[in-house]
Amino acid sequence: MYELTVEREFSAAHRMRDYPGDCSRLHGHNYRVELTVAGEKLDERGMLLDFSELKAVCDRVIAELDHRNLNDLPAFAEQNPSSENLARYLYERIATELSGPVRVEAVRVCETSGSCVTYRGPG
């Protein structure tokens, strides 16, 4: 089994609905995203997936979030844009963009250097 991980960053605002603290007010983060994909077979180049291809997929999805108020997006109309929900959202969106024998293994979202969450998906 091989795993590849790329790191990307984006900036966005959000507020936590029904939260009893400062995060109930609109604020922003410079998010760091670590995307890990996995697979068993290497291609004819000896690669699971080219890093540039993986970065491009991740960047396309993140572009939908960058410099946005996450609360305004349909994906977060019914749920808070917490780091947990954001990690699951990215996992699911990126999974739809990948094809072939490579699958999303995990998405890690850090809203600060010391506050991160990892989503691994069902099963």
Tokens of 38: 């996995």
SS3 annotation, 71-97:
HHCHHHCCCCCCHHHHHHHHHHHHHHH
Whether 110 is catalytic is: no
The yes-or-no answer on residue 84 being catalytic is no
Catalytic residue among 9, 64, 67, 97: 67
Nearest CA among 113, 69, 64 for reference residue 93: 64
Of 23, 34, 53, 84, the active-site residue reads: 23
CA dist., res. 106 & res. 89, Å (int): 12
Is 34 marked active-site?
Answer: no
Q: Which of 14, 58, 110, 111 is catalytic?
A: 111
Token reading at 69? 């108020």
Q: Which residues are tagged catalytic?
A: 23, 67, 111
